């Protein structure tokens, strides 16, 4: 493959994560979890702006009205895109101060899903939550350690999910009408030498793209055969997440982190924390789902 890897935004994210392409504004948005920032970049103009949420932000999505919904350290909230104002919704883990929210995404019916993780990254005290359009929170999976990559199959019948320390991609049956998931099973096992599976997105052919924490790469997998199809090496080790973007959804945006790297390691990967974009990918992404309030 004739991939072309570029730095889309030369920033020093501590923990860049959760990229989303916003089709309405033609911007790529992502977070720095630790700094509590939502970044927004217009790749045509290079205009880059930052919204500070003043607490850790695990993930976010774009709402049908153009504002953001976020899974913050202290729960779900709407974020006004113009002024950053937070409107608190609910905190399902107010009794678990050792946990924070992590990766999240909207399902095809416009519900927002986000999971948690323990700060110590070893307790299986985390869960996966769903926030529906009526702003009701429900717990969808428990016994999780680091809730991470998630996406839905193109036929809306399967939910793919990563609990990072398991090195597995699991699948659930998914009911788009009710939002229920069931029948959890492991479909892909990531070799430990490839790094921890972190963020994940699906492409327009139904293949899964996975970011590898500590693995210097993103990989592409066929969920039907459990086989790796492709791997793209990056000049940074802590690769956290990826999404398709650009007007034709034909570029892959990739986030990464500086967190946990020593000075010596940072010297070897000076672009750690930047937003990357990979061009000349043979496939495209799908239009990202928006959060749809039904109130
Ligand atoms: Ca992650």
- pTM summary value: 0.97
Tell me, what's the pLDDT at 272? Answer: 98
Per-residue pLDDT tens digits for 242-277: 999 999 999 999 999 999 999 999 999 999 999 999
Joined together, the tokens standing for residue 233 give: 């090496």
Residue 215, domain member (yes or no): yes
Structurally, how many domains does the chain consist of?
Answer: 1
Residue 239 Cα to ligand 1 middle (Å): 9
Residue 136, domain member (yes or no): yes
Tell me, what's the pLDDT at 2? Answer: 87
Residue 233 Cα to ligand 1 middle (Å): 18
Residue 290, domain member (yes or no): no
Per-residue pLDDT tens digits for 123-165: 899 999 999 999 999 999 999 999 999 999 999 999 999 999 9
Distance, CA of 101 to CA of 137 (rounded, Å): 14
Residue 9 Cα to ligand 1 middle (Å): 19
Residue 288, domain member (yes or no): no
Residue 292, domain member (yes or no): no
Tell me, what's the pLDDT at 123? Answer: 87
Residue 225, domain member (yes or no): yes
Find the catalytic residue in 198, 222, 250, 267: 198
Q: How many CB atoms lie within 10 A of CB 184?
A: 12
Q: Domain of residue 270: give its range.
A: 4-279
Tell me, what's the pLDDT at 46? Answer: 96
Residue 200 maps to which CATH number? Answer: 2.120.10.30
Q: How many CB atoms lie within 10 A of CB 88?
A: 11
Q: Are 200 and 149 in contact (CB under 8 A)?
A: yes
Residue 180 Cα to ligand 1 middle (Å): 23
Which residues does residue 59 pair with via DSSP β-bridges, in sequence order?
Answer: 71
Per-residue pLDDT tens digits for 121-131: 888 999 999 99
Residue 200 Cα to ligand 1 middle (Å): 9
Q: Is 222 labeled as catalytic in the residue annotation?
A: no
Residue 291, domain member (yes or no): no
Residue 295, domain member (yes or no): no
Give the N- to C-terminal CA distance of the chain in Å, as an integer: 47
């Amino acid at each position: 493959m004739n991939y072309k890897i570029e730095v889309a935004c030369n920033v020093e994210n501590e923990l860049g994560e959760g990229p989303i392409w916003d089709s309405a504004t033609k911007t790529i948005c992502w977070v720095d979890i630790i700094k509590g920032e939502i970044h927004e970049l217009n790749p045509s103009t290079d205009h880059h702006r930052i919204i500070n949420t003043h607490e850790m932000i695990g993930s976010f999505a774009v709402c049908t009205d153009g504002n953001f919904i976020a899974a913050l350290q202290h729960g779900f909230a709407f974020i006004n895109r113009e002024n950053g104002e937070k409107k608190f919704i609910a905190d399902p883990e107010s009794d678990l101060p050792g946990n924070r929210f992590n990766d999240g995404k909207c399902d095809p019916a416009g519900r927002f899903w986000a999971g948690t993780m323990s700060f110590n990254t070893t307790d299986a005290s985390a869960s996966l939550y769903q926030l529906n359009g009526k702003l009701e929170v429900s717990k969808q999976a428990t016994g999780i350690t680091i809730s991470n990559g998630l996406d839905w199959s193109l036929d809306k019948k399967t939910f793919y999910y990563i609990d990072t320390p398991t090195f597995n991609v699991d699948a659930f049956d998914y009911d788009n009408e009710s939002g229920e998931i069931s029948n959890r099973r492991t479909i892909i096992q990531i070799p430990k030498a490839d790094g921890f599976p972190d963020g994940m997105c699906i492409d327009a052919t139904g293949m899964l793209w996975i970011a590898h924490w500590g693995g210097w790469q993103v990989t592409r997998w066929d969920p039907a055969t459990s086989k790796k199809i492709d791997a793209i090496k990056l000049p940074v080790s802590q690769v956290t997440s990826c999404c398709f973007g650009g007007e034709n959804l034909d570029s892959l945006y990739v986030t990464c982190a500086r967190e946990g790297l020593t000075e010596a390691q940072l010297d070897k990967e000076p672009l750690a924390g930047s937003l990357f974009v990979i061009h000349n990918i043979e496939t495209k992404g799908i239009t990202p789902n928006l959060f749809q309030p039904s109130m």
